[in-house]
Structure 1
Amino acid sequence: MLRKLAVIGLLFCSLSFFGQSASMENKKGMKSNFSRAALGAWQQHSLDQVRDYFQYLEMLANETTSDALKAQLKENIYALFNSRNTMVIDITTADKAPVTLEALLTKMDKFNQPLKITLKKKRLSSYFSDDSWMNIYTLEIAVNNNIMVNDVSQKIYFQPQLKDFGGRKKEVWSIQLGEME
């Protein structure tokens, strides 16, 4: 009898630990870790990063920007994105042609025309996947007094990353800009 109780107790404990590890795996998604209000704040922050990206492009296109500053601007832009090969829209043309981020930055480096980019009509998505959402906004792009207006949908990645803080590792969540269409 004692043996049966020990086996049942051991089985119960092992199933209990299995259940806990399964619930830990489910907590990896952003919806499991953040309230809707917190995700809304992160979405607002992602729009700030989108604004930063377009301001960096404006400075990159400015003919008075030094080569050293252009190199720093490119590094700052790459840090905002998920990958250098992320597909973005070519803001120098009216047709929203898709181009890799790296190709656009090379083009912007030689653009040397007055450029003004303004974000208009921002709409935050109410749909969240496990690691991303969509930002939808309208861009007003002025080049040499010609104005182009483009509606843009952009994927925003929101994922945990393991960071090292003085020998201690900690999971922090970060935003990275993704594909545009």
Structure 2
Amino acid sequence: MNKKFLFIVIFLCSFFVNAQDVVKESVSEKKAASTMSLNKKFSSKVLNAYQENSKTKVEDLFSYFQMLTDASLNDDLKKEVVKNINLLFQNPNTLVIDFTSDSFDKITLQQFIQKLLISEPILFSVSEESRYDSVEYQSWKTGYTLSRTKSGIVTKTKIVQKVFFYETPKMFGEETKMVFSTLLGEM
């Protein structure tokens, strides 16, 4: 009787140990999948589409910056532009380049917006050529050349900006679906 009982206990323990190994493997696989680089998670065509979309966000951003320097724009419209700028960024205190000064120091986005509101008109133009580097878990870096025209003087600056890529829930009627979106980060 003892031999049968011992045999059953050993037999059941072996199943329990194997089950724990399977659970550990499944947890580690999920962790690896969640930290997988975007270029491994998506095909190159899909990732390129999101990267091109982020380029249009960069172009929109500089259009908004330019609008803030337009003295003929009314205050309500400027408030709406500031709101749209903040929606483009992951964090309202992200460091950006201060294009109102000639030193191009980095300041927070909110400080830069305040400086633009009192700045003389500045024209911005983003180059057609962009490159996308350093693809990571939830971000990549985009490089572009920015032309700034201030007081008739044109200055070209090469910029590398981080772009974040998130999966977020979005309501469609009564259904919630996961959608992917891009947000701008530090320059």
Above 0.5 in TM-score? Answer: yes
Shift of 1:162: 4.4
CA RMSD of aligned residues (A): 2.1
Quote the residue 1:90 is aligned against: 98
Deviations 1:34-82 (A, max 9, x none): 2232222211111111001001111111111111110011011011112
Instruction: Specify whether residues 88 and 145 from structure 1 end up closer, same or farther in structure 2 by C-alpha distance, changes over 3 A only.
Output: same
Query: Given the alignment of the two structures, is residue 3 of structure 1 paired with residue 9 of structure 2, yes or no?
Result: yes
Aligned-pair CA distance for 1:121: 5.3
Unaligned runs of 5+ in 1: none
Check whether the contact 1:139–1:152 (CA below 8 A) recurs between aligned residues: yes
Matching residue within 77, 83, 88 for 1:80? 88
Give the aligned residue type for 1:8: S
TM (norm. structure 1) is: 0.87
Letter aligned with residue 133 of structure 1: W
What's the TM-score, normalizing by structure 2? Answer: 0.85
Conservation of the 8 A alpha-carbon contact between 2:141 and 2:161: yes
Residue of structure 2 in register with 1:23 after alignment: 29
Distance 1:55 1:21 in 2: 45
1:68 — aligned with what? 76
CA distance in 2, matches of 1:107, 1:126: 30
Q: Which deviates more from structure 2 when the two are superposed, residues 72-81 or residues 153-162?
A: 153-162
Give the whole-Å Cα distance in 2 for the aligned partners of 1:14 and 1:138.
54
2:151 corresponds to 1:144 = yes
- Equivalence for 1:173: 180
Identity of aligned residues (%): 26
Give the distance between the partners of 1:50 and 1:166, measured in 2 at CA.
30
Instruction: Report deviation, 1:2.
Output: 3.6
Q: CA deviation at 1:3?
A: 3.3
1:36-115 mapped onto 2 (5 Å cutoff):
36-113=44-121, 115=122
Structure 1 position 156 matched with structure 2 position 163: yes
Q: Are positions 1:122 and 2:129 aligned together?
A: yes
**Superimposed CA distance per residue, residues 135-170 of structure 1 (whole angstroms, 9 cap, x where no aligned partner):** 111111112322111111111112333455567654
1:1-57 superposed Cα distances (whole Å, 9 cap, x missing partner): 343332222221222122112111122233453223222221111111100100111
Highest Rg: 1 or 2?
2
SS at match of 1:4: helix
Distance in 1 between the 2:8 and 2:174 partners?
A: 48
Select between 115-124 and 40-49 the one with higher mean Cα deviation.
115-124
**8 Å Cα contact 2:133/2:142 also seen in 1:** no
Residue 35 of structure 1 aligns with an amino acid whose one-letter code is S
Asked whether the equivalents of residues 94 and 148 of structure 1 are also in contact (C-alpha less than 8 Å), the reply is no
